Amino acid sequence: MQLSDSLQLAAAWFRVLNAEQQSRVERDLSVQQVVAGSIIERKGELAQAWIGVLAGLVKVSVGNSEGKVASLTGVPAGGWIGEGSLLKREIRKYDIVALRDSVVARLPGATFDWLLDTSIPFNRYLLHQLNERVAQFIGKAEYDRLLDPDARVARCLAELFNPLLYPGMGMRLTITQEEVGYLARVSRQRANQALRKLEEAGLLKVEYGAVRVLDLDGLKHYGSDRGAVEGEQAA
């Protein structure tokens, strides 16, 4: 597949650019295939590129010197991350790690800045993305503290189908139960239980190595009327 075709599918912002801007993006963009477990961007390094996922699945995570790791969010194909660090000219405060074999793209900071200077539609797209990202992390901070594992899995999946952050996803995502567990911070076995419960509720269908969402709004609000105590001990 040609790079321009890949960008049309996996970069909603590319579609709002004019021909000159698209041409420069294609010229400056670098594409890399990474294997599962690879660190794509490392915490503590200066942000020099905007990172896009053209295929596969990556996670944004943080860790400490004791080896403890916390996943902040997952990013499927079509997602672009790291714009905040670029805008602030700062070091990254998180790792970006491939959960599976993936194809990632890097848009250099200079090209990113040039688009900001020359494209109002690109600025508008970025503003919407930043606003949605803030809402996403506020929501995650809330449900990580208040919801049981079943509801956390539901919200984690709903995040991956966010039409503003990951447009063009459709309603089916290739993801394993182990990957769901990584992102929701529960064991694979607990993720399996949660998926089966959500399937019984008619919110999704578990397929081989994939999940098909049947009721996205239901996933977003699953368990919102329950307290945090139930299920936390089972995690």
- Same domain? 9 vs 123: yes
CATH number at residue 50: 2.60.120.10
Alpha carbons 122 and 120: distance in angstroms, whole number: 5
Percent of the chain scoring above 70 in pLDDT: 90
- Same domain? 104 vs 187: no
Which H/E stretch holds residue 169? Answer: none
- Same domain? 123 vs 56: yes
Structural domain ending residue among the three candidates 92, 109, 137: 137
Note the residue count of the chain: 235
Other CB atoms within a 10 A radius of the CB of residue 214 amount to 15
Which residues have CB under 8 Å from 217's CB, separation 6+?
A: none
Q: Does residue 226 belong to any structural domain of this protein?
A: no
Q: For the full predicted model, state whether its pTM sits above 0.75.
A: yes
Tally of domains within the chain: 2
Per-residue pLDDT at 211:
93
For residue range 27-37, list pLDDT tens digits in order.
999 999 999 99
- Same domain? 93 vs 153: no
CATH number at residue 210: 1.10.10.10
Across the chain, mean pLDDT equals 87
Structural domain ending residue among the three candidates 137, 160, 192: 137
Calculate ∠ Cα 149-66-146, nearest 5°: 20
How does residue 232 score in pLDDT terms, banded at 50, 70 and 90?
Answer: very low
* DSSP of 34-45: E-TT-EEE-TTS
Q: Does residue 142 belong to any structural domain of this protein?
A: no
For residue range 116-142, list pLDDT tens digits in order.
999 999 999 999 999 888 887 777 766
Alpha carbons 8 and 22: distance in angstroms, whole number: 10
- Same domain? 29 vs 87: yes
Tell me the average pLDDT across 1-26: 89
Per-residue pLDDT at 87:
92
Q: Which of 1-5, 63-67, 206-210, 224-228 tops mean pLDDT? A: 206-210
Q: Domain range holding 17? A: 3-137
Q: Does residue 235 belong to any structural domain of this protein?
A: no
- The sign one gets for the Cα dihedral 186, 189, 192, 198 is negative
Lowest mean pLDDT among 58-72, 83-97, 212-226: 58-72
Per-residue pLDDT at 51:
96
